[in-house]
Structure 1
Amino acid sequence: MSLEAVARHYAKPMVKEEVARYCAGRWVALEGATVGGRRGVFLRYFRDGRPLTISSPSDVEERLHAYRALRPRAVYASINVYRRLSGAGDVEDPSNVARASPVWDVDADLGAWRECLEAAEAIVSWLERHGVDRSVFLKWSGRGVHIHVHEGAFSAELLACRHPLDVAFAVVEYALRSVKDELKRVASKAPRGGREFKVENKVDAKRVFTAPLSLHRELDLCCVCFKPNDLRCFHPSWAELSEVRHDTSWGVFEEGEGDELALEALKAVGGCSWLGPSKAAEARTVVQAELPEAAARAAAKLGRFQVMGLLQAARYYLVTGDLDRAKSFGLNRAVFY
């Protein structure tokens, strides 16, 4: 898709309005177009070091134009809603988080879209059984589905005594542990392709998810929202740019309907490690198809060379943020050890 076509998409009134409505109060990221199989630049700050934000429909086109040299294509926003975003330190301050959204990430190849929806239905049904219904919406991101509980589902009284990110992490983790067997069954029958079918808890302090009606970073599709009652009739064609079908009621919520579930989840799981260690917190859950025995044995045979290369590459990447050079550095260091 050309830069002109990207600009035309984001110039549409409904696109600008929906992107801005979702991004308001959130830390925004722009991702450049993928070129030659390499992911584009991932931009999270203004040139003066402030966290990137979008507060109004006019901001959408302005941000894309200001950073047009990076060929921006996809728009993301944080799971956290912040009280202020005027300086770089604002996104490092836990007390600055006003609310946070529980989000389950179901990722797979486009060919496994039916299994993605089946996994989503298992999570949505579990939420309904726990009294959370009106505040739930889903987003088809292009290759998978995100299940959201609107951050407004948790009362101010609850959030006054429990951190919003603790609540979001605990609810997502508790649900995944509860329906893990059902999700494994779905994963086992998903067609295998270039992307592994996976359902996971990605809740953390810096996590972002695709904004409604944003373009996919690679595919010529956009992110569309729909409510649980459309799960059985949803089709990926809803995300095609020529016939977008998008439900603007994703912002509907019922304050307090998630409180009882949140307290139950916090008791069972604990909070998010970003805020310090929690005795109840365990490793976050990832559900995927189990490898055949032979493949699992092969994957388990990691030698000293592979481990050293991976560790050195990770070290370099954390310092520089350059993935390609980190891979090269890790390989070279492993050779000399």
Structure 2
Amino acid sequence: MSYDLVLKHYSNPLVREEIAAYCSGRWVALEGGGPASRVFLRYAHNGKPLKVSKPEDLEGLLATYKGVRPRTVYGSINVYRRLEEERDLDDPHNIALCSPIWDIDGELSSWKQVLEAAGVIAEFLEQKGVRKSVFIKWSGEGCHVHIHERAFSSDLLSKHNPLDVAFSIVEYTLRALKDKLMPIVMRSNGKVKVENEIDIKRVFTAPLSLHRRHDLCCVCFKLNALDQFDVSWANLESFKHDVSWKGYVEGEADNLAIEALAAVGGYRGWAEGVKEAKATSIALEEKPQAAKIGRFQVMALLQAARYYLLTGDLDKAKSFGLNRAIFYAWAKHHARDVKAHLAAARAREAEKEEKEARGAKLTQVCGEEVFVTDSGWFTMGGVVQTPKDYDRQIALNISSVIPYEEAWKAAIEYLKSFPQSYLQDQQKFFNEVYKPVRDSFIDVVVKKKRGAHKTLDEIFKQFK
């Protein structure tokens, strides 16, 4: 779908109003880029959390970050009292409300099983006296079952943190329904899974937002429409969306909350570093796959290491690494039939055209033309790439596969094996340094480094 059609969808007054109604008080995230890059924005240029309080705010965000072509809008599960700086997000006392949400993942081919699972959860909630405050969102491939965050009395919330309430309710429900939900998961051949994804910084798709891949929008409906739902309701040109999702009865979910808190005990993530049992996930066991780091992360890591070796500046290296990863992903997405270095050249021309609009200076860095802001950070598509952005989008992702420090040290050693001229030449770096390991970084780079540091005992064991 062309980006003009994306903008057309978000120009619809109803779409803007519904997104603003849901996101007001929530921490907002935008997702854009291409299939390979998936740029995820959660902070403004000044470091403040993104937010949408009124329809005009959404229009402003789309204009500000048009360079990364935002497509999907998300809102946090938490509604905050104050949302002005990053530390507001970590303060438990700043959480005014929190939405209990059951995450049911699936595929378009399994949408009926997804709705069946939602029906099981809805029936349980009705048995517990919670109905008028419940709504369902079809997100594009799966759905989210919500209890409105205002379905709890002020008395209950004065005694329990809203995040404790939300986590406990979702967890308590899934534990109780595991035997009913697992047969649905099995009939879907594992395409459906139901999870407790409640976390302090978790976001879910906003009503009427576009799906990140499919040309469908996120529609809401109440429980009385569950049996009538069809995926055609999410079609962009003729979506069927119930604005009454905003309805709730204060205190309706209090009894369920008290039961759940007694059984579960609250949110498990308050104490940083504390390892507890995982929240409930109802899914078929997946076969373990070989650990692998995606191309986007490999590019960012190697580009950061490249910059660091040439300049010694770690913070700017992170900014440069993320910037170049986004740049090459953009080039690939917009010129799939052109060789990488030619695609990059075309992308540079597009960057130059936006120079004045972004207010950044074009400079030569590591043999590449890159835009840099007055603060020294690199920028792409009107979005500044900061060290914190690198840590969130690259380091954290790599850490889910192997320790980031190990990957970083391996990358440094790998680049040291090349002449400096390769690090200073754009095409040589892409073709001779990055390309050979983009799909096998762990096997070729990390494991090779591990092997280079074997002890004598480990070496002797190989010959026994």
TM-score (normalizing by structure 1): 0.87
**Which AA in structure 1 matches 2:187?**
K
- Once residues 214 and 140 of structure 2 are traced to their aligned partners in structure 1, the CA distance between those partners, rounded to angstroms, is 7
Deviations 1:106-141 (A, max 9, x none): 111110000000000000000110111110000000
Contact 1:75 1:210 in 2 (8 A): yes
- Once residues 54 and 250 of structure 1 are traced to their aligned partners in structure 2, the CA distance between those partners, rounded to angstroms, is 18
Aligned-residue offset at 1:335 = 3.5
Aligned to 2:122: 124
Residues 84 and 317 (structure 1 numbering): CA distance in 2 closer, same or farther, change over 3 Å? Answer: farther
- Once residues 124 and 39 of structure 1 are traced to their aligned partners in structure 2, the CA distance between those partners, rounded to angstroms, is 36
Deviations 1:176-202 (A, max 9, x none): 00000111010111156xxx3211000
Provide the aligned length of Structure 1 versus Structure 2. Answer: 314
Identity of aligned residues (%): 49
Aligned-residue offset at 1:314 = 4.1
Contact 1:154 1:255 in 2 (8 A): yes
**Which AA in structure 1 matches 2:15?**
V
Task: Provide the secondary structure at the position in 2 that maps to 1:225.
Answer: strand
**Which AA in structure 2 matches 1:316?**
Y
Contact 2:406 2:446 in 1 (8 A): no
- Once residues 315 and 155 of structure 1 are traced to their aligned partners in structure 2, the CA distance between those partners, rounded to angstroms, is 44
Aligned-residue offset at 1:167 = 0.3
Give runs of aligned pairs for residues 189-268 of structure 1, distance below 5 A: 189-191=187-189, 196-268=191-263
Task: Provide the secondary structure at the position in 2 that maps to 1:22.
Answer: helix
Aligned-residue offset at 1:282 = 4.1
- Once residues 136 and 318 of structure 1 are traced to their aligned partners in structure 2, the CA distance between those partners, rounded to angstroms, is 46
Contact 1:51 1:85 in 2 (8 A): yes
1:42 matched to 2:76: no
| Higher RCO structure (Cα 8 Å, ≥6 apart) | 1
Aligned to 1:30: 30
Aligned to 2:7: 7
Contact 1:224 1:246 in 2 (8 A): yes
61, 64, 67: which is aligned to 1:66?
64
Contact 1:221 1:241 in 2 (8 A): yes
- Once residues 102 and 13 of structure 1 are traced to their aligned partners in structure 2, the CA distance between those partners, rounded to angstroms, is 28
Task: Provide the secondary structure at the position in 2 that maps to 1:172.
Answer: helix
**Which AA in structure 2 matches 1:219?**
H
Residues 22 and 87 (structure 1 numbering): CA distance in 2 closer, same or farther, change over 3 Å? Answer: same
Aligned to 1:284: 279
Contact 1:312 1:330 in 2 (8 A): no
Residues 329 and 270 (structure 1 numbering): CA distance in 2 closer, same or farther, change over 3 Å? Answer: farther
Q: Highest Rg: 1 or 2?
A: 2
Residues 328 and 290 (structure 1 numbering): CA distance in 2 closer, same or farther, change over 3 Å? Answer: closer
Residues 186 and 76 (structure 1 numbering): CA distance in 2 closer, same or farther, change over 3 Å? Answer: same
Deviation above 3 Å: which 4+ runs of structure 1? 310-314, 317-320, 324-331
Residues 39 and 114 (structure 1 numbering): CA distance in 2 closer, same or farther, change over 3 Å? Answer: farther
Unaligned segments of structure 1, at least 5 residues = 304-309
Task: Provide the secondary structure at the position in 2 that maps to 1:157.
Answer: helix
Contact 2:407 2:446 in 1 (8 A): no
Residues 318 and 255 (structure 1 numbering): CA distance in 2 closer, same or farther, change over 3 Å? Answer: farther
Unaligned segments of structure 2, at least 5 residues = 292-397, 409-433, 451-464
Aligned to 1:306: none
- Once residues 318 and 142 of structure 1 are traced to their aligned partners in structure 2, the CA distance between those partners, rounded to angstroms, is 37
Residues 63 and 312 (structure 1 numbering): CA distance in 2 closer, same or farther, change over 3 Å? Answer: closer
Contact 1:317 1:326 in 2 (8 A): no
Aligned to 1:88: 86
- Once residues 203 and 41 of structure 2 are traced to their aligned partners in structure 1, the CA distance between those partners, rounded to angstroms, is 12
Residues 327 and 269 (structure 1 numbering): CA distance in 2 closer, same or farther, change over 3 Å? Answer: farther
**Which AA in structure 2 matches 1:190?**
S
Residues 70 and 197 (structure 1 numbering): CA distance in 2 closer, same or farther, change over 3 Å? Answer: same
Contact 2:219 2:239 in 1 (8 A): yes
Contact 1:269 1:282 in 2 (8 A): no
Residues 130 and 317 (structure 1 numbering): CA distance in 2 closer, same or farther, change over 3 Å? Answer: farther
1:102 matched to 2:100: yes
Deviations 1:292-331 (A, max 9, x none): xxxx6xx49x89xxxxxx86844329999xxx99986544
Contact 1:313 1:329 in 2 (8 A): no
- Once residues 127 and 285 of structure 1 are traced to their aligned partners in structure 2, the CA distance between those partners, rounded to angstroms, is 17
Q: Provide the aligned C-alpha RMSD in A.
A: 2.5
Aligned-residue offset at 1:94 = 1.0
Aligned-residue offset at 1:283 = 2.4
- Once residues 181 and 317 of structure 1 are traced to their aligned partners in structure 2, the CA distance between those partners, rounded to angstroms, is 42
